[in-house]
A and B are shown apart, each in its own frame.
Chain A
Amino acid sequence: MALDSKVPQGPIADKWTNYKNHIDLVNPANKRNIDVIVVGTGLAGGSACATLAELGYNVKAFAYQDSPRRAHSIAAQGGINAAKNYQGDGDSIYRLFYDTVKGGDYRAREANVYRLAEVSANIIDQCVAQGVPFARDYGGLLDNRSFGGVLVSRTFYAKGQTGQQLLLGAYSAMNRQIGRGKIKMHTRHEMMDVVLVDGKARGIIARNLVTGEIERHSAHAVVIASGGYGNVFYLSTNAMGSNVSASWKIHKKGAYFANPCYTQIHPTCIPVSGDHQSKLTLMSESLRNDGRIWVPAKLEDAQAIRDGKKKATDLVEADRDYFLERRYPAFGNLVPRDVASRAAKERCDAGFGVNATGEAVYLDFAAAIERYGIEQALIQGDQNPSKEKVNTLGTAIVKAKYGNLFQMYYKIADEDPYTSPMKIYPAVHYTMGGTWVDYNLMTTIPGCYAIGEANFSEHGANRLGASALMQGLADGYFVLPYTIGDYLSKDIRTGKIPTDTPEFEEAEHAVKEQINSLINNNGSKSVDYFHKRLGKIMWNKVGMSRNEQGLKEAMAEIKALREEFWKEVNVPGTADTFNEELAKAGRVADFLELGELFAKDALTREESCGGHFREESAETEGPQKGEAKRDDENFAFVSAWEYKGEPADAVLHREQLEFNDIELKTRSYK
């Protein structure tokens, strides 16, 4: 099947408006006869549920958690971008569009990104109307901060809990509709498969995670909003339950999977402390507004610090290497995430790491505390404050801005970041890849949509900070409700979709077969044993830097591990009870397939772009020496993979990317 992105004609600034003016609509009375299933209730799914229900559709929502409020969008810390230009610093829809396309290393679809930038301002208005308590200045207006990869302040925030407040906003809008009966919420339910009738998505098979019951649910369209697949690395900043299964099930039924190798490795996470580690914790990018990243300039100092003979605070300025400020003077500590992560890895690989494992760099707030302290003293009329006073006043400001993050760091690392710098290291955080969708956010299965992190989306090969929340809410509140209506307008005479059909029967049977084979396997190794091994392969060979040999090895190792899993996995308990191990086993089985496709995609893309760094493709000379080298001539396309059984046999379809409104340039932050 040839890929058709269905991007509307016309100038980029008019596409979305023209599109909305010409689509088919469903009249309010007919909406009452149409059902929509939404899988996942984070920012994208939750906002989609609320808006679709307000419009009058019957929404059936599914979440594996015990409440929609638990979805992992809640953990997003720093903020949400919007082209409001409240600061008057030159922001505009075009500039947000430009920054996002450039930040994504020119691997996103222009028309989608422009639409995202266009609706971004609506999100802020909408959320304020819903009672989201964004940070404000003393005049009562909204405050902004800066994020990496941009030169304006366009990020709105609610302390370090912006994701929480936005999700609770979407959750509140859902609650209003649940109370009215327009959303039927199925918590502690997992989607096991999608059901196709005459080639269209018409329902799902779900498992009740409390009773183990297998259920059939039908609808006129199915929306996948189940988030990203970073947990293929086992250790990531994702929630423990975050999984690829819903996306992978639709992939196996015909939805193409796009750019699986585009993974965001976030530069500022708390380093790994030992083999027992179950997840990694992010320290928000907003910290890079005020924190300075450095390692010792001398190898002997790094060694002394690792041996515990010296402390960070023992090193004078001249003995510190602020490597981001040194390498990237224009953007300094606020370079995009992929650039910051690789720079930290480069220093640690060269022997400058500052913790016992040698895999950590400093994030230091001493300069910010001093700067704020002097400013506060001046406000109080003290022209010549003591060092202690500066420190006290400055600490108070830093605490007000980042208090919850500092507390989180202190609890995990057992060190006080107000008096000694944080230690941080990159970790898997977000996946730009995902299910391929057209301009309508529809996958290659008619009637099956993918929104939020689950789709391959507008972030290209690297997502800028504070853009995930923007995209999730844009998709759910403002884009999908239009595009899905155009599709559903053809379904007003269809009537209710029955579930007592051979298609549902067959799908349910296959689900039960897989569950039985897992439960009755009686192997000798736990699910986590396999998940951890998969994670090690992924991190070592498909992680921050990749090469041909490693990727080929990874593909073979993952395939062998998958075979071992099906022979040796031990799933205790029974299928008809609350059984967390069984749920995990199903998810890991899917990760073991995705991982191989992921490596295959990375192998196929013989260029470096964004978060995807191929060692064979780096600049060898000139001012950009050592930086990633993109190859626009051969790789300016989206890789969309068609399922053919074994992941290694997947067939590549290319969506050529055209750049009419932005000139393709080397991405420089120097």
Chain B
Amino acid sequence: MDMNLKLKIWRQKGANDEGQMVDYNLGGVSPDMSFLEMLDVLNEKIINEGGVPVAFDHDCREGICGMCSLYINGEAHGPDRGVTTCQLHMRKFKDGDTIYIEPFRAKAFPVVKDLVVDRSAFDRIQHQGGFISVNTSGNTQDANSLPISKYAADEAMDAATCIGCGACVATCKNSSAMLFVGAKVSQYALLPQGQVEAADRVRNMVAQMDAEGFGNCTNTGACEVECPKGISLDNIARMNREFFKANI
């Protein structure tokens, strides 16, 4: 049963242009389509009518690369929980719905075009300490010579599943990146391999996070709710603890 939708989409030619919401009517939307497939159909229509299609970021379309974004009806990655926009399906909407589609908004995520934003600030934070300083020569100790408790390994894995999409920042009223940074700090803080550089890592990553213009955490917990990978707020607490530890 196909649906007809009214779309209100943010259009902006480039970083320095003024943007505006533009209305589109779209019919023939199947409930089995993903949200991005719905936008594909819209773009095909725009192209065939001689227009310029809506730019949006996407790549793997299976919820793991973190490239897709979108603020849909006021929520990062839309109304469903535990999914990225590419995994959101049109069965979550009804025939006749009006859908507002905006880019992720944050001072540290400038708009590139339409719905595409620049999230390179996340990479720059990682450059400051999102690693363990071990050379990749292969001359390390045998992997099983360092037993790690299953509990710690699983907790580290849960933190490490962050896909770096930026939904936490887009959702936060302060545009804080503390869930993102906390997840990386936690992954290494939970593992013995990460201990050697723990203090420098958290200090440097937090300093870069502040320099990029991300806000502070005021514990509203919205980031955890909207995170497509369910990264826990505990990671922020753990980062704060690591940060205090590093500064005494």
Query: Is B60's beta carbon under 8 Å from chain A?
Result: yes
User: Looking across the interface, which residue of chain A has its beta carbon closest to that of B204?
Assistant: A179
A residues less than 8 Å from B34 (CB atoms): 278, 412
Instruction: Name the contact of A66 in the complex, choosing from B118, B149, B191 (C-beta under 8 A).
Output: B118
Query: Is A8's beta carbon under 8 Å from chain B?
Result: no
| A571-604 CB contacts (< 8 Å) to partner B | 572-573, 577-578, 580-581
B residues less than 8 Å from A281 (CB atoms): 61-62
A136 and B148 form a contact (CB under 8 A): yes
B147 and A74 form a contact (CB under 8 A): no
B134 and A70 form a contact (CB under 8 A): no
Query: Is A514's beta carbon under 8 Å from chain B?
Result: no
Using A66-B67, A72-B59, A281-B62 as known contacts, say yes or no to A276 and B120 having CB atoms under 8 A apart. no
Query: Is A279's beta carbon under 8 Å from chain B?
Result: yes
B residues less than 8 Å from A122 (CB atoms): 138
Using A168-B160, A277-B37, A278-B34 as known contacts, say yes or no to A130 and B132 having CB atoms under 8 A apart. yes
The stretch that binds A, out of B48-56, B231-239, B240-248, is B48-56
* Complex Cα spacing A278 to B43, Å: 13
* Complex Cα spacing A628 to B144, Å: 41
Instruction: Name the contact of A136 in the complex, choosing from B87, B123, B150, B193 (C-beta under 8 A).
Output: B150
- A445 shortest CB reach to chain B, Å: 26
A577 and B14 form a contact (CB under 8 A): yes
- A528 shortest CB reach to chain B, Å: 6
B193 and A477 form a contact (CB under 8 A): no
A51 and B132 form a contact (CB under 8 A): no
* Complex Cα spacing A123 to B51, Å: 49
Using A47-B136, A86-B144, A125-B141 as known contacts, say yes or no to A276 and B37 having CB atoms under 8 A apart. yes
Chain A 125-145 per-residue mask, 1 if CB under 8 angstroms from chain B, else 0: 111111101111111111000
Query: Is A537's beta carbon under 8 Å from chain B?
Result: no
User: Looking across the interface, which residue of chain A has its beta carbon closest to that of B36?
Assistant: A278
A residues less than 8 Å from B128 (CB atoms): 179
* Complex Cα spacing A74 to B84, Å: 15
| A275-290 CB contacts (< 8 Å) to partner B | 276-279, 281-282
A residues less than 8 Å from B6 (CB atoms): none
Using A125-B140, A142-B144, A276-B41 as known contacts, say yes or no to A578 and B130 having CB atoms under 8 A apart. no
- B111 shortest CB reach to chain A, Å: 11
A75 and B65 form a contact (CB under 8 A): yes
Using A136-B148, A175-B131, A572-B53 as known contacts, say yes or no to A240 and B33 having CB atoms under 8 A apart. no
A580 and B53 form a contact (CB under 8 A): yes
* Complex Cα spacing A126 to B160, Å: 17
* Complex Cα spacing A408 to B228, Å: 12
| B17-69 CB contacts (< 8 Å) to partner A | 30, 32-34, 36-37, 40-41, 44, 47-48, 50-53, 55, 57-67
Using A54-B136, A70-B67, A178-B127 as known contacts, say yes or no to A414 and B37 having CB atoms under 8 A apart. no
Query: Is A274's beta carbon under 8 Å from chain B?
Result: yes
* Complex Cα spacing A165 to B160, Å: 7
| B113-140 CB contacts (< 8 Å) to partner A | 113, 116, 118-120, 122-123, 126-128, 130-138, 140
| A108-165 CB contacts (< 8 Å) to partner B | 119, 122-131, 133-142, 158-159, 161, 164-165
A126 and B37 form a contact (CB under 8 A): no
- A417 shortest CB reach to chain B, Å: 15
B64 and A581 form a contact (CB under 8 A): no
* Complex Cα spacing A133 to B192, Å: 11
Query: Is B175's beta carbon under 8 Å from chain A?
Result: no
B193 and A126 form a contact (CB under 8 A): no
B61 and A133 form a contact (CB under 8 A): no
B residues less than 8 Å from A276 (CB atoms): 30, 32-33, 37, 40-41
Query: Is B94's beta carbon under 8 Å from chain A?
Result: no
A175 and B126 form a contact (CB under 8 A): yes
Query: Is A411's beta carbon under 8 Å from chain B?
Result: yes
A135 and B134 form a contact (CB under 8 A): no
- A539 shortest CB reach to chain B, Å: 18
A578 and B127 form a contact (CB under 8 A): no
Query: Is B164's beta carbon under 8 Å from chain A?
Result: yes
- A75 shortest CB reach to chain B, Å: 5
Instruction: Name the contact of A74 in the complex, choosing from B14, B44, B60 (C-beta under 8 A).
Output: B60
- B228 shortest CB reach to chain A, Å: 11
Most chain B beta-carbon neighbours within 10 Å: one of A125, A129, A133, A138: A133
Using A129-B141, A573-B52 as known contacts, say yes or no to A135 and B89 having CB atoms under 8 A apart. no
Query: Is A556's beta carbon under 8 Å from chain B?
Result: no
Query: Is B194's beta carbon under 8 Å from chain A?
Result: yes
- B87 shortest CB reach to chain A, Å: 5
A69 and B153 form a contact (CB under 8 A): no
Using A130-B134, A414-B91, A526-B47 as known contacts, say yes or no to A125 and B143 having CB atoms under 8 A apart. yes
Chain A 237-276 per-residue mask, 1 if CB under 8 angstroms from chain B, else 0: 1011100000000000000000000000000000001101
Complex A-B: 26 CB contacts under 8 Å: A54-B135, A66-B118, A67-B120, A67-B164, A72-B60, A72-B65, A126-B138, A133-B157, A133-B187, A136-B147, A136-B150, A140-B149, A171-B126, A172-B131, A175-B127, A175-B130, A178-B123, A239-B60, A239-B65, A240-B61, A273-B32, A274-B32, A276-B40, A279-B62, A408-B62, A526-B48
Instruction: Name 5 extra pairs, CB < 8 A, besides A75-B64, A165-B160, A276-B41.
Output: A129-B140, A133-B191, A172-B131, A279-B62, A408-B63
- Interface residues, chain B, with chain A CB atoms under 8 Å away: 13-14, 30, 32-34, 36-37, 40-41, 44, 47-48, 50-53, 55, 57-67, 80, 82-83, 87, 89, 91, 112-113, 116, 118-120, 122-123, 126-128, 130-138, 140-144, 146-150, 153-154, 156-157, 160-161, 163-164, 187-188, 191, 193-194
- Interface residues, chain A, with chain B CB atoms under 8 Å away: 47, 50-51, 54, 65-72, 74-75, 84, 86, 119, 122-131, 133-142, 158-159, 161, 164-165, 168, 171-173, 175-176, 178-179, 185, 187, 210, 237, 239-241, 273-274, 276-279, 281-282, 407-408, 411-412, 414, 477-478, 526, 528-529, 570, 572-573, 577-578, 580-581
